[in-house]
Structure 1
Amino acid sequence: MPLSPLVAGFVAVLVGFTSSVVIVFQAAAAFGATAAETASWIWALGLGMGLTSLGLSWCYRQPVLTAWSTPGAALLASAGLGVPLAEGVGAFIVCALLMTAAGASGAFARVMNRIPMALAAALLAGVLARFAFDAFAAAERELLLVATMFAVYLAGRRWWPRWAVPAVLAAGMALAAARGQLDFGAVRWQLATPVFTWPRFSLAAAVGIALPLFVVTMASQNLPGVAAQRAAGYDTPVSPVVTTTGLATLLLAPFGGYALNLAAITAAICMGREA
């Protein structure tokens, strides 16, 4: 196997976790989750992403990446305050049922088929633009680090495009280490243990958490995810993929897997020409 797909996969996992895992921690904390339950959330989400990405990509012989719902986590971080974890899990299950129904009925696919390709590409560009702007915003605090990584990226795109992203990562880590900004002293390596939470269903949680989580996940994650696939020239069937992510969410919800969906940012990394 060429090295570039391995590098693209590694970068996709790195970006997928580091860009929003803190928001997932905040979402779990809003429901009063313990440290073990929070670790179970990451276990469930990671397992769900890995298995669904592997299975769907193998089935369709096309790159299909799934991810946790980052906007959904941001929603839960506020909507989950004061809500018992058991009711939150019940809301996750309701959301999963709605996602499965949207996929199995073909309703979401019909919506996507009505969206012009140019609009889908613009939607993906809007999602990616935020990350580009955030990089330059970080220059206010870490000008040397950002400037160095940006220069390495430009050089990489010019002379070794397949290695541009890992070169940026290596340069950034090397500079941060040289400046004493990397501290692994508090890191403890241990396996996460799944923690099952019995769901409790309530109308308030269904209306205040499940329904908004469903809408945010479908509109802010699955729409850009399909746009990323189409922009890269892939025609993966939409309905079975959405149905699969809904069923995976249904199975993993009691362990903290609140919502799985198509990836956009990491999908763009793995579907690029250099991948």
Structure 2
Amino acid sequence: MRSSSTLFPTILAGFVAVLVGYASSAAIIWQAASAAGASAQQIAGWMTALGLGMGVSTLALSWWYKAPVLTAWSTPGAALLATSLHGITLAETIGIFIFANALILLCGVTGLFARLMKLIPHSLAAAMLAGVLLQFGLQAFRHLDGHLLLCGSMLAAWLLAKALAPRYAIVASLLVGGFVAWAGGDVVTDNLTLSVVTPGFIAPAFTFTSLVSVGLPFFLVTMASQNAPGFATMKASGYTLPVSPLIVFTGALALLLSPFGVYSICIAAITAAICQSPDAHPDASRRWLAAMAVGVFYLLAGIFGGSIAGLMSALPLSWLQTLAGLALLGTISGSLAQAMNNVGERDAAVVTFLVTASGVTLLGVGSAFWGLVIGGVCYSVLSRLGRA
């Protein structure tokens, strides 16, 4: 039987993954919902439904496959909605959710997305993951200028624990940083309240204009910039799970919950990397326990969906971003090692990494997708010329 001390870093990895996920994009979802004309009460209900949907799907899939399968909302999709929903009614917004999630479900049923994912070489998947995570890694050191005491103490705690007790490096960084932030008065709890908000059903409305102008781009961005990196992350971490069943499950659940404000439930990438790394558990076959912890924390976040905004504002941004960067360092280094391992694929992998890390957006689609596309073209051309 495992001791609680052995499981604690695994549970903490789940907590950090949820913390990073909410801290990085919860505000974007509030902006998107506000653009659609949702009230504060309705937005809180959407956050509740999203948390419950992600919690149920993460728990069910991770337990079924005994692998760290994390789900998440589509952050790129939320960013697109935040800039595209002005002038569209709330009912039409729900119609957009239903339309996009139905298309995602169709991709899973037909197996189209699975066939596309099989074309991605492992080295390019690893390079894409490293590119996605690069900015998070840089954040571990970016706040040293201006928050030297807080971030410096977190880095020192991480380094000392990494040398003496590697599994507890993030634990040490979290605790030391939390104490320094609290002692310095950087933790503000004035607006922190615990409130439970029940999601409300909103009848959808479908208009051709909204579905084509917002729904179709939203579907494409979600698949290309969220689901594709999510599966590539799993592949880079050594978990080759069937693609279509996961798309069918997440798409169907999101479709069912769309009238309650669940705009998407996708395969996670950045937060999943935290739970798929050796820091979560040294045994790859046991890292699904970290994902189970994520599911539980998702459910708690969902139940208290109305409190998320207050919680995020209570914690200093420098503490959150430094913690996220340190938690992902192991995954970044491992991904780079895998990407550069094959000399014949190294140039294409570097291109994939750099395009992804550049943050470029073309045709409304993010850099992770274009990194795979441009890197894939390089891989194909260089491989053919090399065989000629």
After TM superposition, the score normalised by the length of structure 2 is 0.68
Q: 1:120-139 residue pairs with structure 2 within 5 A?
A: 120-139=125-144
The aligned counterpart of 2:266 is: 261
Q: Indicate the residue corresponding to 1:119 in structure 2.
A: 124
Unaligned runs of 5+ in 1: none
| Aligned AA (2:120) | I
* Alpha-carbon distance between aligned partners in 1 of 2:169 and 2:87, rounded to the nearest angstrom: 45
Per the alignment, in what secondary structure is the counterpart of residue 19 of structure 1?
Answer: helix
Q: 1:141 to 1:79 in 2, by over 3 A?
A: farther
Q: Partners in 2 of 1:112 and 1:182 — Cα distance?
A: 43
| Contact residue 11 and residue 166 of structure 1 kept, 8 A | no
Question: Is contact 1:31-1:80 (8 Å) kept?
Answer: yes
Q: CA deviation at 1:150?
A: 2.1
Task: Please give the alpha-carbon distance, in whole angstroms, between the structure 1 residues aligned to 2:78 and 2:173.
Answer: 28
Among 219, 235, 239, the alignment partner of 1:214 is 219
Shift of 1:136: 3.3
Q: Cα RMSD (Å) of the superposition?
A: 1.4
Residues 110-165 of structure 1, C-alpha deviations (whole Å, 9 max, x = no match): 11100111111111111111212234333344233222222222223222221112
Whether 1:7 and 2:12 are equivalent positions in the alignment is yes
Contact 2:48 2:198 in 1 (8 A): yes
- The residue number in structure 2 matching 1:159 is 164
* Counterpart secondary structure, 1:186: coil
Secondary structure of the structure 2 residue equivalent to 1:227: helix
**Aligned equivalents of 1:174, 1:79: Cα separation in 2:** 41
Encode CA deviations 1:185-235: one digit per residue, 9 max, x unaligned.
211111121111111011121112211111111111111111111122111
**Displacement over 3 Å in runs of 4+:** 134-141
Q: What percent of counterpart residues are identical?
A: 49
Indicate conservation of the 8 Å contact 2:42/2:199, yes or no: yes
Match of 1:18?
A: 23
1:233 to 235, 238, 241: 238
Whole-angstrom CA distance in 1 between matches of 2:265 and 2:19: 17
The equivalent position to 1:101 in structure 2, one of 102, 106, 127, is 106
Identify the residue that residue 357 of structure 2 maps to in structure 1. Answer: none
Distance 1:87 1:162 in 2: 48
Equivalent AA in structure 2 for residue 177 of structure 1? W
The 5 Å alignment of 1:197-208 reads 197-208=202-213
Unaligned runs of 5+ in 2: 281-388
How high is the TM-score relative to the length of structure 1? 0.95
Q: Does 1:142 align with 2:151?
A: no
**Which structure is larger by alpha-carbon Rg, 1 or 2?**
2
Conserved 8 A contact 2:9-2:171: no
Asked whether the 8 Å contact 1:88–1:209 carries over to 2, the reply is: no
Q: 1:46-80 deviations in whole A, cap 9, x for unaligned?
A: 11111111111122121111000111111111011
Q: Report the count of equivalent residues.
A: 275
